[in-house]
A and B are shown apart, each in its own frame.
Chain A
Amino acid sequence: MTRPPLPRWLLVAAAVAVLLAALPLAGMAVRVPWTRVPELLTSEAARDAAWLSLRTCAISTGLCILLGTPLAVLLSRSRGPLAAVARTITALPMVLPPVVAGLALLITFGRTGVVGRHLSVLGVEVGFTTAAVVIAQTFVAMPFLVVALEGALRSVDARLERTAASLGASPSRVLATVTLPLVLPALVAGATMSFARALGEFGATLTFAGSLQGTTRTLPLEIYLSREADTETALALAVLLIAVAAVLMVISALVARRAVVGRD
Chain B
Amino acid sequence: MVAVVGLSTLVGCASGGDDDEGGDLTVFAAASLSGAFTKIAEQVERSEPGVSIRLSFGGSNGLVDQIAGGAPADVFASADVATMGRAVDAGLVAGEPAPFATNVLTLITPPGNPAGITGLDASLDGARLVVCADAVPCGSATRELAESAGVELRPVSEESAVTDVRGKVASGEADAGIVYVTDALAVADRVEQVPIAGADTAPNVYPIAVLDRAADSGPARRFVDAVTGPAGRAVLAEHGFGPP
Contact = CB atoms under 8 A, between A and B. Distances in A.
Nearest to B114: A111
B158 A212 contact: yes
Contacts of A180: none
A42 interface: no
Nearest to A230: B135
Contact of A228 (B130, B157, B160): B160
A226 B135 contact: yes
Interface string A224-239: 1111111000000000
Interface string B159-182: 110001000100111100000000
B131 to A, nearest CB: 10
B11 interface: no
Interface string B167-207: 01001111000000000000000000000000000000000
B10 interface: no
A112 B110 CA distance: 12
Given A16-B4, A226-B135, A229-B61, A112 B172 contact: yes
Interface residues of A, number: 24
Interface string B51-70: 00000000101100100000
Interface in B55-112: 59, 61-62, 65
Contact of B158 (A16, A106, A209, A211): A211
Contact of A225 (B133, B155, B171, B173): B133
Given A19-B4, A225-B133, A230-B135, 6 more contacts: A128-B128, A210-B158, A227-B61, A227-B62, A227-B65, A228-B160
Of all A-B residue pairs in the complex, the 10 with the closest CB atoms, nearest first, are A210-B157, A229-B135, A128-B156, A228-B135, A112-B172, A228-B61, A127-B173, A212-B157, A228-B136, A111-B173
